[in-house]
């Protein structure tokens, strides 16, 4: 039997943004929470720049503000997104997304992933309800209707009423819980870097679907953008090995001079693209949040926002169960959480996959279909307004 120090109400596996925000969402309760993370405490306290810029919706910003993390992010790291354009090949036509006229608010806000992680760590570090257990991985997890037992790599066993997996789209905890997932290794990688450029971006993002590549340009400070290049993985590896000079020549050529002359403003980073959809989002005394539940393709930039909303919904269900005198792993609550996440995320997940399939195909019929599709969407206001509204929810 473990001692009192090894007993928790909830064990969260994974101290990424979703796992930490979930722990922070429970701060007003009396619940004892453990957050298990394989990285060191120093890595959590000083997250390195990883190239990723997160496009936060207004709903995600509200959640971060509620848990005290939004104000911990420096204003200089918050880049408003005042519009977006979608381009197809060499066509001059662009599908436009803009904030509602007179709203005075941006579509969303771009924030470096490392700054979000830093703010959430500081938030958790100031609270005393959550205990960070860093430098440990989970080697076993068993659950039943009466609770969960999590075994760490150092042999320590944690007993809890609920275990929550938040340890990436290739979640080892999900596997230990016996929950399957549809995992699609796409064979593509996203190469990311910041660039300085001579042409103004006017705080407008560009998503450009071109032959054998997709380019996204995300506006940051004046004259600086985050450039995301999606290529077959072997081609991305080839570019990653280039010298800075050759890489910039290649980048300028691929962008067809849209940003003018460019210089590198950061190191280059590459990430293989994998999508996941867990077969279940809950089990007896267990739940999945964030990428452990749903790993989105980044083309719509909504994976992080779905993850943040999933933790908020689960935390709300737990706090409601506590208030009503029910168990925090109440089966009805967990099933309700799963239904909510499945209904809210499925249309975007499957719709995104359809878009990716259409825009990555080089078949002449697919090229025509995406050109026609963009023009159709531009002339159907409820489609454009619906997507813009989704960004603002």
| Structure confidence by residue, pLDDT tens digits, 211-225 | 788 899 999 999 999
Q: What is the CA radius of gyration of the chain?
A: 22
Per CATH, the architecture of 7-183+275-391 is what? 3-Layer(bba) Sandwich (3.50)
User: How do residues 251-294 score in pLDDT, each as one tens digit?
Assistant: 999 988 888 999 999 999 999 999 999 999 999 999 999 999 99
User: Looking at residue 369, what is its pLDDT?
Assistant: 55
Domain ranges of the chain: 7-183+275-391
Coil, strand or helix at 103: coil
Q: How confident is the model at residue 365 (pLDDT cuts 50, 70, 90)?
A: low
What separation in angstroms does the CA of 383 have from each of 87, 104, 299, 377?
17, 21, 17, 6
pTM, two decimal places: 0.89
User: How do residues 101-132 score in pLDDT, each as one tens digit?
Assistant: 767 789 999 999 999 999 999 999 888 889 99
* Average pLDDT over all residues of the chain: 88
User: Looking at residue 380, what is its pLDDT?
Assistant: 44
User: Looking at residue 94, what is its pLDDT?
Assistant: 63
User: Looking at residue 42, what is its pLDDT?
Assistant: 96
What separation in angstroms does the CA of 226 have from each of 57, 237, 300?
18, 19, 15
Say which residues have a Cβ less than 8 Å from residue 87's Cβ, sequence separation at least 6.
93, 94, 95, 206, 207, 208, 209
Reported residue count of the chain is: 393
Q: Which residues partner with 193 through β-bridges? A: 227
């Amino acid at each position: 039997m473990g001692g009192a120090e090894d007993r928790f109400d909830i064990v969260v596996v994974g101290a990424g943004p979703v796992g930490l925000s979930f722990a922070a969402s429970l701060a007003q309760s009396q619940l004892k929470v453990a957050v298990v993370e394989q990285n060191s405490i120093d890595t959590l306290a000083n997250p390195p720049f990883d190239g990723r810029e997160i496009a936060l919706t207004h709903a995600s910003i509200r959640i971060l503000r509620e848990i005290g993390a939004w104000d911990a992010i420096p204003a200089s790291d918050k880049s408003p997104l005042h519009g977006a354009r979608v381009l197809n090949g060499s066509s001059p036509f662009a599908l436009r997304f803009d904030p509602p006229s007179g709203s005075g608010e941006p579509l969303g806000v771009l924030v470096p992933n490392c700054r979000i992680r830093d703010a959430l760590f500081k938030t958790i570090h100031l609270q005393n309800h959550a205990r960070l257990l860093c430098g440990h991985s989970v080697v076993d997890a068993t659950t039943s209707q009466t609770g969960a037992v999590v075994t760490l790599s150092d042999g320590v066993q944690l007993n809890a009423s609920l275990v929550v997996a938040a340890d990436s789209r290739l979640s080892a905890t999900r596997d230990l819980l016996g929950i399957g997932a549809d995992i699609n290794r796409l064979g593509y990688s996203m190469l990311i870097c910041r660039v300085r450029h001579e042409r103004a971006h006017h705080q407008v993002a560009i998503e450009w679907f071109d032959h054998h590549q997709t380019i996204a340009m995300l506006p940051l400070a004046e004259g600086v953008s985050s450039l995301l290049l999606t290529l077959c993985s072997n081609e991305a590896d080839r570019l990653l090995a280039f010298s800075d000079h050759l890489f910039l020549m290649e980048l300028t050529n691929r962008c067809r001079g849209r940003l003018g002359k460019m210089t590198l403003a950061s190191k280059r980073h590459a990430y293989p693209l994998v999508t996941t959809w867990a077969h279940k989002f809950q089990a007896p005394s267990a739940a999945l949040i964030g990428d452990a539940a749903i790993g989105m393709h980044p083309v719509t930039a909504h994976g992080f926002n779905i993850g943040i909303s999933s933790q908020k919904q689960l935390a709300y269900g737990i706090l409601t169960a506590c208030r009503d005198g029910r168990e925090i792993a109440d089966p009805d609550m967990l099933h309700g959480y799963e239904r909510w996440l499945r209904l809210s995320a499925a249309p975007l997940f499957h719709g995104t996959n359809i878009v990716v399939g259409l825009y990555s195909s080089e078949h002449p019929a697919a090229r025509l279909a995406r050109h026609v599709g963009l023009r159709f969407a531009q002339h159907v206001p409820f489609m454009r307004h619906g997507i813009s509204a989704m960004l603002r929810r």
